[in-house]
Each structure stands twice: as C-alpha cells, then as structure tokens.
Amino acid sequence: MVNSVDSDILSSTKKKHLNPDENWGLVEESEYFANKVKLYRQDKLNADEFRRFRLQNGAYGSRLNSEFSMIRIKVPGGDISPEQMEKIANLSETFSIGSAHVSTRQNIQLHWVQLEDVSEVVRGLAEGGLTSREACGNTIRNVMCSHFAGVCSNEPFDVTVHAKAIAKFFLRNPMCQNLPRKFKFNFACCSEHGFVRIADVGLVPAIRDGIRGFRIYLGGGLGAASFIGHLLEEFTPESRLLSTSMSTIRLYDRLGNRENLARNRMRYLVNEMGWEKFQALLLKERVIVEATMSIPTKNTFDGILNIDTNANSNSTISSKRKLPLINSDNAQTPYNRWLNTNVVAQKQPGYYGVYITLGAGDITSNQLRVLAECVREFSLEQKARTTPQQNFFIRYIKSDSIPKVFAKLSSIGLGNPGANTIASAVGCSGTTSCNLAITNSHRLAKEIQSKFLELNFDMDPDFRTSTIKISGCPNSCGQHEVATIGFYGGAGRIANSMAPIYTMLFAGSTGETGELGKTIMRVPAKRVIDVVLKIIECYRGEKNGNESLHDWICKISTGHGNGKVQTIDDLKKTLVPITELPSFAESPDSYKDYGADSNFVAKTARGECAA
Amino acid sequence: MRCLSDLTQTKNKNGIKSDNKLKKNIIKKEKKMMSPATLDLVCDVDTLRTLIKKNKVRVVDVRKKDEYLKGHIPTSVSLPLSDLLSDDSPESIIKIMNNLGIADNTPVVVYDDTFGALASRVAWSFKFIGHTNVSLLEVTYSGWKNMGLEIEKKSNKFPKSSHSIDIDYSIYADAEYVENARNDKNKVIIDSRERLNFLTEHIPNSKNIPYTMIRSEDAILRNPSELKRFMENRGIDSNSEIITYCGSVGTLSGLVFFALKTAGISNVKLYPKSFKEWKSLGKPKIEFKDATYWDLSAE
C-alpha cells in the first residue's frame, strides 16, 4: 500500500520535476560576461551599455558602490534541487558574504559580489543548471509559482510544469530581450495561494468542461503606483497559454512607454489606455499570433510543457479546504511549537510540507548545506521550493520523519517557528544593498521576527493569517501593499532632525481576490514595533469571538468596527502618541535607523530596475 | 629564485650545456632522483607519504600542542603557530627551526587544521629567513585523517640542526612599504579578509580577495588554472607586484600569498602585521558606511 503510493508520487515527480532538460544555465555566458567587464574597465564599452548588459545577466549594482554587484539567481517556479542549494552555498562563501537571500519573488540573491567575480558566479551557476540571466533588466523576470502547486488541496491541477514551460520558452527568447520594462508572471495553485493580482500576468488554474486552463489576470503590479490586475476572459484553455502570453508581451513591447522610466510597466499602459481597450487589442493580437505562430514554435512550447493528457482526475474538488496545519498537544516544547505553525498536510494523504522560516530570507552557506541534506534525506520529491514569504518549503515528508526533520533543522538554527504568522515578517534588502532604499527594512523585519517570537505571537491562532511586510522605499519589493500591516520606508524631518519614517498601510491581501492596502499613517522606524504592539493590544480588547487580527484590521479599515474602535481614525488616536519622538537631544537613538551608528541621512542612487 | 639557482648549480656540476627544453627535463629527473627533494609550493598527499617513508622530509604540525599529542601525521614535529608568533624575529625563527632539526637543505611540509592559513604563516616565515624548500600540505589534518591515512601519537624529536640565515626581504612588507605602495600603479594591495570586514574598513586602494575565494572543497587551494583565471578576471597581471594583508597576524593573507604564487605571480609580499598594526599606527583607511550590509548576514 505504502509502496504503491510512493511509486505513484515518485513517477509523477520524475515526470514533472526531474526533467533532464531542466537546465537553465549556459557556461559560455560566463566568459562573455568576463570579457564585457574587461572591455568596460578598459573604457571600450560605455557605462550605459555595460549596465544594460550586466542587468540582462542578473547582476544589479550594489548600494552606492559600483565595484560590487548583487547577483539574482532565478529559481523558476521556486523549484530548487539540493545540489543547486549546495552550489549556491559554495558560491556565496567563495564570492559573496557567506549568506544568501531568498527574495519575495522566489529568487535567491548573492550580495556584494565583486564585479570582476560575477563571471565566476555565472559559471558556477551554469554548472548547477542555474542562471541569473534575465533576472534583472527589461525582460521576463523569474516566473513565480505557488509553493503549494502539486500538493494544494484546492488546486485543479499542478501548474508547476506550466510555470517552468513559460520560463523556459521566454528565457533568452529574442522577443523579450528589450521590453519597455521588466515583466512578471505569477502562477497560483488555487484562488487563495498566489500573487496573481499584482503581476503583469497572473494565472489561476481552472478546469472547464474537463479542459484545463486558467483565469488570467493582466496589468497588475506593485510599485510607487500600484494596480490590481484585470481578468482577461472567463476561461483561457491551456492550449492558448502560449499565444496569450506571447500576445501580451508583443502588445506591451509595441505600445509600452519607453520614454518615462517611472511609468513604463505594463500596468501603466493598461491604466492609461483603459482596460477595455487593452483587452480588445490583446484579443485581436492573439488571433494574429495564433494565425501566424510557426509549428516549430508551438511544438517547442508543447514539448517543454509535455502536457500530460491523462491528467489524474483529482481535479474536481467540491468544497474548498484549507491546508491543515498539524496541531500538536499543548505541551510547549520547541518541537510542538514549530509543528504548530511550520508543518502542513498535503492533499496526498500521509505527506507533509515543512516551512523553514528564515529571518527576512537570509540563510548561511552552512545552513543551506544542512537544508540540502534534509531534502535528500526526507523529501520524496528531492526538491525544495522558495516561497514569496522569503522562506523555504520542503514537501513530500512522511509523518514519522517530521521529528527527525526538526532535529536536523534546529541543529543549525533553522528550526524557528512562526511560518505564515505575524512573526514571520517580510523585509526587502533595503539599505543593506539596494540603491533605492531609504531605510533598513531588512533589519526591521528581523527585529520584528525575534521580538514577536519572544512574545510567543506565533502560538496565538489569532495571528496566523496576519502578515507584516516591509519595503525600504515606496517601490514595493517587500510587497507592503498586500500585507495585513505593511510599511514602506521614507525620510522625514522631526523638529530639525532627519529620521527614518515608515508609512503604514492596512488590510492588503493576496490571492485571486487580493486587494491593495490603504495608507494609514507615518511611523518613525524605531516606533514601528511599539505601534504594532499597540494595534495588537487594541485588537485583543475589541475582537469578536474567533475574529482574527487580519479580519479585524480589514473591518476597521472600512469603518465597520463595532466596539470602541470603529474606524481607522479611532485607532489612530491611540497610535499617534506612540509615534511622537522625544527631542533629538533627549534621545538621539530614536532618530537613527536600525543597524546604523551614525545619524540618519536619506541617501539613494539611481535605481537599476529601470535601466 | 633560490630554488632555481640551486638547480642551475647542479646542472653546471654535471657539465651539461643544452637548450631550455633539455634543461627542464634534466631538472625534472633530478627532482626525482636526487636528494633532497625540491618541493612545489603545495605538496600532494602521495608525495608526502613517499617522502615520509624515505625519511626525507620534516613534517611540521602547527596546530595546538594538545591536538598534536592526540594524533598527527607520522614523523611530524609540533610547532604551534602561537609559539612562532610570540617572537617572530628572524633569530627566533632560526632557533625554532634548529630545535625542530630543519637544516638548510631539509624539505619541509607544513600542515594545520585551519584550511591552511596557519600553515601558510609558518611556511612563509621559513621562506622569509631563507628556507625556500618548504611546502604546504594540500589538505588539512582532518582531510588527511578522513582519507584514512596513517597517523601516530608519539612525539617526535630530531637532532638539532644549524640553519643559516639569509633573509628574503622580497617577500616581506612593513607598514611603511604598504603606505608607499598605495599610490603605485604597479603594486596591488590585496586584503584577504572576508567581504563584510573589507567593506567595513580597509587600506585605501586595496582590493579584496577573501581567503574563501582561493580554497576548494577538498584542498586548501584551488587548482592553479582556476586561480589564474580568477586573477585574470580581476585584471591582475602576473608581472604585478602584490602585497597581501589580513586582520592581524598574516594567516589568511599568508594563504593568499601562496595562492597567488601558485597562480604564477612571482612577486608577492606579505604584510604580516597586517591591518591590526596599520590601524594602531593611525594610518589612513577607507570605511564604507553608506550601506548596512552586516544585516544581510544570517550568522
């Protein structure tokens, strides 16, 4: 019995995830990069041209120091093998800072790499089947995919293969090497798990009349101005996935704004043109694409996709189910605490997924190696996933292995509880490496995590669905607009002193019905934790029955509170005193940012996303 | 250099006049047949085992004394790095070498259990006082042990020797030398510390080649072709003069010294007192405070 389940899963795993063609790297790109660096250093290549080339190959300039780069390693679909983790561990130790960083877009980033060493990292990545190609620049960025794809109780089918087929088809594809700006795909597994409304193309799998397909949302995205994506049509069959994607890219490539750097994402085009007009143009474009698409092109994609026509009939799921968390008994051992928040049951009976909660996505090389061992030893699919919450997720673990997994993880500091709770705060890299950052969002996320774990917030079921997400500037890499409580960094003057100040947002959400958060108020960096604690205190005094923090915040955000705090303004009255700082002379530390000894100065340089 | 001139002498003794190719062949042959052996900068495991069997090498263990007593490579003598550093004047180094029974022509192989950094510092010191025939074992003690190779516990002692002294200043730099080199285009100063330490503060105009960059998974140094490529990428010419330094006593930079030598760069110097002395002398340094990079570390 057990054997047959194992072999079933293994065979499907082999088919879908261990494809020998799954190699994203190209070793020759290493030498090419090295040569370009030499030309640039010899002034034979101008800075703008070189920047464009560098970004196309995944090397982003480091904060206020052009000698160094951040290398963004694409993890298509978030799917990564233990060998690749070990490769990244070695590369980080050799050329970077000995830690790697999981981004909110499921990439893994190596920071502060000497520009002249980037080619060696590219070489090492290619050896491990990985690439940083088109991870930055004006092209198709890492294709995201829900980390539950394949194990989610509510999914009609596993979209991992589609996400990877799209990634493979467009990688190095001449049609998307010079778009007006970056372009992002996001695949959900179900209507709940995904960031489909804040992507250029967001896809939710669906089955209609026995045919697999998607609900496709277009023109969403977060940034200085954010938009929620529009539904293209009720149902797009799988057979039109490629043509729809190609037409969208073609239309954007043709009509997108190439002049104004601040308004050249596709969402602005959609917004300026109006959705109906864009939609009509797109559907027309698709007719042309379908009529003219060459057979080799179509075959290439279908070959990558390798559509499994005998999709198992696991597809019709009548009622919506939550991925059940394992509830441990009340004994509060570290193991039980972890079990409570970090282990979820898969749709495959007897198998579990385990979260590895990191601090703002950071993991040391040694930890990565232990994680790789863990995957090899305990995961039937022999892979892990990166998550948009900056964590890792290991799936296909049998229940009797879970204690061993915990022992192994906690032996190296990877056994933190609190995944998917308010304690697991998201923070972009902020001033630790980004040119655009104004504040140290990265450290703030870590501070919140350790403080909230210390306060046992992970153990409170009321906080389970709530999220805190922090960006170091308004550009939303920390996805602050889709958090229960979001923050983005800025600078402000208080009396005569500059201070790092965050703008707080409420009631953002992800999924197919995702909404953008509303701006609430400004909070000095050193008061963010106190303000969140005060919000929690108010919530605890006000909540009705089992109402979660997230639900309560959504309720008061629309002015529907039913206690003493009915509206945002009511809550603000309580919060404002906390945001007031003593004078600089009394408390200079209140005016400094996290991780900085010196007084705060807002320093930024040109953002390279737009280059 | 010394090595080469020794060999030239041998050649002359044999009265051979020939073209370069022939010379090379002869040198190779002599390496094999004659005693003592002339060691490469890095000594592989097989070579060391052979030399140990033939009793033609002095193996130096630079770990702490108690670790040595628990087990060591056969025939090795103990020289904890701290003993050498407590007084690393040439007179003291000579005394130490004489006590270990190292004569002018004794081939020496040094090992540690700290990825080669401690061994490098000792090997460099021997070179500094004029003992060129010294080599780093390609693996650490753990590496040796993990391969299941022979170890022993008895302490080894050899008759005292009388080593000559011929200081090689061409591999040495002091603070003043480094300060003058800072603005010399033909000299490259290399900081061997990890990236985050380098970003925090470093000697102006120095470049960062962290010690983590030059080692491989199973050996203390990468193969020479890789090291060469790394240096080429960095635009470091094999004819450049290079000065390496690290945090305090020249261990990490000692390892990088040997890596650069292996990569075919002949003119490499070590600044053994390194950044600790540089700072204490109040010399200028570059600090990079525009980013909070330490917060990226998951340590």
A11: pLDDT strictly greater than 80: no
User: How many whole angstroms separate alpha carbon A262 and alpha carbon B95?
Assistant: 71
Per-residue model confidence as pLDDT tens for chain B (299 residues) = 333 333 333 333 333 334 444 444 444 444 444 568 899 999 999 999 999 999 999 999 999 999 999 999 999 999 999 999 999 999 999 999 999 999 999 999 999 999 999 999 999 999 999 999 999 999 999 999 999 999 999 999 999 999 999 999 999 999 999 999 998 999 999 999 999 999 999 999 999 999 999 999 899 999 999 999 999 999 999 999 999 999 999 999 999 999 999 999 999 999 999 999 999 999 999 999 999 999 999 98
Q: Do the chains contact at A364 and B208, CB–CB below 8 Å?
A: no
Q: In chain B, where does the domain assigned CATH 3.40.250.10 lie?
A: 36-167, 170-296
Helical (H) or strand (E) element with A486:
strand A485-494
CB contact under 8 A, B296 and A97: yes
Residue in chain B closest to A110 (alpha carbons) equals B296
Lowest mean pLDDT among A136-150, A238-252, B1-15, B63-77: B1-15
CATH homologous superfamily of A426-591 equals: Sulfite Reductase Hemoprotein, domain 1 (3.30.413.10)
Q: Report in angstroms the alpha-carbon separations of A213 from A140, A233, A495, A499, B87.
A: 21, 11, 57, 50, 76
pLDDT given for residue A307 in this prediction = 55
| Residues of chain B positioned with their CB less than 8 A from the CB of A63 | 290-291
% of chain A beyond a pLDDT of 90: 88
Task: Tell me which of 3.30.9.30, 1.10.3470.10, 3.20.20.70, 3.30.413.10 is the CATH number of domain A172-305.
Answer: 3.30.413.10
Interchain contact, B234 vs A364, CB within 8 Å: no
Q: What is the pLDDT of residue A304?
A: 86
B202 vs chain A: nearest CA distance in angstroms? 14
Of the candidate ranges A8-17, A153-162, A234-243, B46-55, the one whose mean pLDDT is the lowest: A8-17
Q: Do A446 and B217 touch (CB under 8 A)?
A: no
CA atoms of A216 and A238, how far apart (whole Å): 11
Q: How far apart are the CA of A64 and the nearest CA of chain B, in angstroms?
A: 7
| CA of B210 vs chain A CAs: smallest distance (Å) | 8
Mean pLDDT to the nearest integer, A96-125: 98
What secondary structure does DSSP assign to B148-198, as a single string? T---B-S--------------GGGB--HHHHHHHTT-TTEEEEE-S-HHHH
Q: Which residues of A touch B234 (CB under 8 A)?
A: 114, 116-117
CA distance B207 to B223: 22
Is any Cβ of chain B less than 8 angstroms from the Cβ of A243?
no
Position A262 confidence tier, pLDDT thresholds 50, 70, 90: confident
Judging contacts by C-beta atoms under 8 Å, the chain A residues touching residue B229 are 120
For residues B164 and B105, is the Cβ–Cβ distance under 8 A? Answer: no
Residues of A in contact with B293 (CB under 8 A): 97, 111-112, 432-433
For residue A195, pLDDT beyond 90:
yes
Nearest alpha-carbon partner for A246 in A212, A278, A288, A303: A288
Q: Measure CB to CB from residue A442 to each of B196, B229, B296 and give the nearest one.
A: B296
pLDDT of residue A17: 43
What is the structure's pLDDT at A168? Answer: 95
Quote the minimal CA–CA distance from A559 to chain B in Å: 39
User: Which carries the bigger pLDDT value, residue A306 or residue A548?
Assistant: A548
Closest CA–CA distance from residue A434 to any residue of chain B (Å): 8
Q: What is the mean pLDDT of residues A70-95?
A: 98
The C-alpha atoms of residue A551 and residue A10 are separated, in whole angstroms, by 40
Q: What share of chain A is helix, strand, coil (3-state, %, to 5)?
A: 40, 20, 40
Locus of tokens 């000697």: B203
Query: From the list B289, B290, B292, which residue is nearest A440 (CB)?
Result: B292
The residue in chain A having the minimum alpha-carbon distance to the alpha carbon of residue B294 is: A432
Residues of A within 8 A of B297 (CB-CB) are 97-99, 362, 364
- Which tens digits make up the pLDDT trace of A282-315? 999 999 999 999 999 999 899 888 754 444 444 4
Per the CB < 8 Å rule, is A362 touching B298?
yes
Q: What is the dihedral of CA B215, B220, B225, B230, to 10 degrees?
A: 30
What is the structure's pLDDT at A603? 87
Confidence of residue A605 (pLDDT cuts 50, 70, 90): confident
What pLDDT score does B3 carry? Answer: 36
Kindly state whether A364 is in contact with chain B, defined as any CB-CB distance less than 8 angstroms: yes
Q: Stretch A53-71: mean pLDDT, rounded? A: 96
* Sign, Cα dihedral of A368, A373, A376, A378: negative
B150 forms beta bridges with: none
Mutate to test the interface with A, among B293, B294, B297, B299 (most CBs of A within 10 A): B293
Do the Cβ atoms of B138 and B221 come closer than 8 Å? yes
A430 lies within 8 A of chain B by CB: yes
Determine the average pLDDT of the residues in A471-484: 96
Give the gap in angstroms from C-alpha A601 to the nearest C-alpha of chain B. Answer: 9
Q: Which residues of A touch B195 (CB under 8 A)?
A: 96-98, 112
A279 inside 8 A of chain B by CB:
no
Measured between beta carbons, the chain B residues lying within 8 angstroms of A99 are: 296-299
Residue A170 has pLDDT above 60, yes or no: yes
Among the four given CATH numbers 1.20.210.10, 3.30.70.20, 3.30.160.40, 3.90.480.20, the one describing domain A21-127: 3.90.480.20
Which residue ranges make up each domain of chain A? 21-127, 172-305, 334-410, 426-591
User: For an interface test with A, which of B295, B297, B299 has the most A Cβ atoms less than 10 Å from its Cβ?
Assistant: B295
| CATH T-level fold of A334-410 | Sulfite Reductase Hemoprotein; domain 2 (3.90.480)
List % helix, strand, coil for chain B (3-state, nearest 5).
Answer: 40, 15, 45
Q: Is A99 on the interface with B (CB under 8 A)?
A: yes
Task: Confirm or reject contact between A414 and chain B (CB < 8 A).
Answer: no
Interface test with B, best of A27, A94, A439 (most B CBs within 10 A): A94
- pLDDT the model gives residue B60: 98
A90/B299 Cβ within 8 A? no
The answer to whether the A172-305 and A334-410 domains have the same CATH topology is no
Give the list of residues 6+ apart from residue A342 with CB closer than 8 angstroms, or none: A354, A355, A356, A357, A417, A418, A419
- A362 and B297 within 8 Å at the Cβ level: the answer is yes
Q: Are the beta carbons of A431 and B194 separated by less than 8 Å?
A: no
The CA-CA-CA angle for residues A406, A411, A415, to 5°, reads: 45
- Cα–Cα nearest to A408, from A438, A440, A373: A373
* Span B36-167 CATH architecture: 3-Layer(aba) Sandwich (3.40)
Contacts of B196 in chain A (CB under 8 A): 97, 112
Q: Which of A34, A364, A433 sits opposite B291 (nearest CB)?
A: A433
Taking all residues of chain A, what is their mean pLDDT, rounded to a whole number?
92
CATH superfamily of this structure's domain B170-296: Rhodanese-like domain (3.40.250.10)
The A residues from 74 to 93 touching B (CB cutoff 8 Å) are 90, 93
pLDDT of residue A608: 74
Interface test with B, best of A66, A72, A114, A120 (most B CBs within 10 A): A114
Chain B residues within 8 A (CB-CB) of chain A? 194-196, 199, 208, 212-213, 217, 229-230, 233-235, 288-299
Mean pLDDT of A566-586: 96
Q: How far apart are alpha carbons A427 and A468 in whole angstroms?
A: 9
C-alpha–C-alpha distance, residues A470 and A492, integer Å: 17
Scanning every residue of chain A, which has its alpha carbon at the shortest distance from the alpha carbon of B196?
A: A97
* Residue A390 confidence (pLDDT) above 60: yes
Is residue A177 scored above 70 in pLDDT?
yes
Q: Are B179 and B233 a contacting pair, CB within 8 Å?
A: no
Q: How far is A557 from chain B (nearest CA, A)?
A: 33
Question: Cβ contacts (< 8 Å) between A430 and chain B: which residues?
Answer: 292
